[in-house]
Amino acid sequence: MYSDKVIDHFTNPRNVGEIADANGIGEVGNAKCGDIMRIYLDIEDNVIKDVKFKTFGCGAAVATSSILTEMVMGKTVEEALKISNDAVAEALDGLPPLKMHCSNLAADALQAAIKDYQSKNNHVV
């Protein structure tokens, strides 16, 4: 049912935790299941230097968040904003259709964290 990449990122999730002095934090809830995701960003000179996540989500949410952190590390804010939930699911070699909504949690929390960063730094959102 799950790809090897999903199982790898679920059993060995990357970048779990918090960033104490994060300058962008995004928290979202999944309307379909009620699970929650929080993403912490450390952005310097418009580049994502560090990213961590915490989730009260399912295995697919853990795997999508884990691979998302790898995808955005070192990216500019603009590049990170272009990462869609479909791109996250594709990077994991797909998710079962019933689990596609779980990838929204990671992508939406990332967008929320970037918006938080931009609002704190007086960017036009």
Nearer to ligand FES, 25 or 58 (CB): 58
Nearer to ligand FES, 33 or 81 (CB): 33
Nearer to ligand FES, 61 or 77 (CB): 61
Distance of CA 116 to the CA centre of its chain: 14
Strand order in the sheet with 24-29: 24-29, 36-44, 47-56
d(CA 121, CA 125): 10
d(CA 34, CA 50): 27
Backbone conformation region of residue 34, classed left if phi is above 0, alpha if psi is from -120 to 50, else beta: left
Using CB under 6 A, which of the segments 29-37, 41-49, 76-84, 114-122 binds ligand FES?
A: 29-37
Residue type, 111: Q
Closest contact distance (angstroms) between CB of 125 and ligand FES is 26
Using CB under 6 A, which of the segments 5-13, 53-61, 72-80, 84-92 binds ligand FES?
A: 53-61
Q: Is residue 88 near ligand FES by the rule CB under 6 A?
A: no
What amino acid positions are annotated as catalytic residues? 33, 102
Binding site for ligand FES (CB under 6 A): 30, 33, 35, 57-58, 60-61, 102, 105
